[in-house]
Amino acid sequence: MMEVGTSYADALAEMQQRGLAEADPTLDVEGYDAANKVVILANAVLRRPTKLADVSIEGITRLTADELRAATAQSTRIVLLCLAEPFEGDYRLSVRPTSLPLDHPLARMSGDEMGIVYYTDIGGRTSATTLERGPKPTAAAMLRDLLDLIAG
């Protein structure tokens, strides 16, 4: 929304109204919600014992509409990118606003989507996205997690 001139405050209010941002949006806009997803993936997929303190985190609150529009003018898009990049036999984990080319799978997503891209030595690039137009998908995932814990 800010790419087309909506103010941060108005965009946030819209996301809160639609149930995509919490009443206290700190975890979302400061990158902590995304960082927690990096921790889960690092533990589950990379099999790397990881805590939140292991992730370098920068949120989106300092981004301006001008910066977002400038990125668009340069045929890029700024997204809040979670990254696990190989580094000296381990992984460097981060969450930060990052400029991506418009043909990148994560740059093509709408504001209602979340996505992940895996780069593998055998399969190359694989990506998946999910469309979440309200709080129901998150609530369903929480219910599934709760049922897994109870059954566990």
**Which of 63-77, 81-95, 108-122 has the least mean pLDDT?**
108-122
User: 24: burial class by Cβ within 10 Å (0-12, 13-18, 19+)?
Assistant: exposed
Q: Tell me what the mean pLDDT of segment 108-126 comes to.
A: 87
- Regarding pTM above 0.85, the answer is no
Q: How far apart are CA 1 and CA 10, in angstroms?
A: 9
Query: Could you tell me which residue, 41 or 1, shows the higher pLDDT?
Result: 41
Is 51 marked active-site? no
Of 6, 14, 25, 37, the active-site residue reads: 37
* Domain range 2-151, its CATH number among 3.30.365.10, 3.30.360.10, 3.20.20.140, 3.40.50.300: 3.30.360.10
* Domain residue extents for the chain: 2-151
